[in-house]
Amino acid sequence: MIAARFDDSFDGWRQLARSLVTNGIEPHEVEWIAGTTQESMFAAEAASQKQAASFSVPAEFVRLAESVACFRDPARWSLLYRVLWRLTHGERSLLSIVVDKDVHRMQRMASAVRRDEHKMKAFVRFRRVGDENEENARYIAWFTPAHFILERVAPFFSHRFASMCWSILTPDGSIHWNREELAFGPAVDRSSAPAADELETLWRTYYASVFNPARLKTSAMRSEMPKKYWSGLPEARLIPDLIADAPRRVREMKVSDSSGRSELEHPASGRVSDA
């Protein structure tokens, strides 16, 4: 067995995997050891040798592998290498075989990573700290990703909140934006994030105002906003009362509406928005 030691990054895996494939090392001969600064003996030897052979893979594999590399499972690296080996050893069209066990597993992992990105974009809530002057204000958010997605979602937040100075803290690492550039930092404890601020009252008021009891679908809402995210959402504490009061509000709405337009026609609904 070859101990393939690398830094637990996609780029680190790709560099080592290319050397392994070029030197004819089969998947069952490799033990992937991620998250170490100790260089693999094979990697050191491969780097010192001129590689005569080369190979290419479909661009689709690279895109898929970049997503799979973010999935929180140590076995992802051996899966990626196994698929890479198969692609370069006679199974060029492997990725089109959706019923293949390895391909199916990669697709499911990539879907889970994309879903986690969507949830983070929807459920991060910033809290203001420090100076009351907006120019000097800083916003901090806490989030617990299911997968290693920080670098993938960071550009979204830097564009969406470009005029703010903010930090997103997670158990995996942190993202910081100073209105000009992104920086990544170490993991932090949740106690480092503020518990509340004055903006939460405004957010709850907004959420309550757009919540339409007539369009409430509890199962769909809980599917879109699972309870594991509630601790970081200021509006979450309103949900039980809004659900409990929904039948009464619907009855009142059916009776009459002084404006002549029923609240039932209001475009807002009980479904969670990404706004």
Q: Give the tens place of pLDDT for each residue, 67-81.
A: 999 999 999 999 999
Q: Are residues 185 and 261 in the same domain?
A: no
Report how many domains make up the chain.
3
pLDDT at 6 over 80: yes
pLDDT of residue 275: 35
Q: Are residues 205 and 257 in the same domain?
A: yes
pLDDT of residue 145: 95
Q: Are residues 128 and 55 in the same domain?
A: no
Give the structural domain span for 87.
2-116
The residue among 174, 192, 210 that closes a domain is 192
Residue with the two structure tokens 């492997």: 94
The residue among 64, 96, 116 that closes a domain is 116
198: its two tokens? 């004055």
Which stretches does DSSP call E strand in 109-164? 127-129, 138-142
pLDDT at 202 over 90: no
Q: Are residues 62 and 104 in the same domain?
A: yes
pLDDT of residue 174: 93
Q: Are residues 12 and 61 in the same domain?
A: yes
Residue 274 lies in a domain: no
Q: Are residues 22 and 67 in the same domain?
A: yes
The residue among 192, 222, 239 that closes a domain is 192
Q: Are residues 10 and 106 in the same domain?
A: yes
Residue 104 lies in a domain: yes
| Tens-digit pLDDT profile for residues 174-198 | 999 999 999 999 998 888 777 665 5
Q: Are residues 103 and 21 in the same domain?
A: yes
d(CA 257, CA 78): 62
Cα dist from 181 to 152, 159, 165, 166, 218, whole Å: 15, 11, 10, 11, 40
pLDDT of residue 224: 64
Cβ count within 10 A of residue 140? 20
- pTM for the complete prediction? 0.72
Cα dist from 218 to 6, 67, 191, whole Å: 45, 31, 32
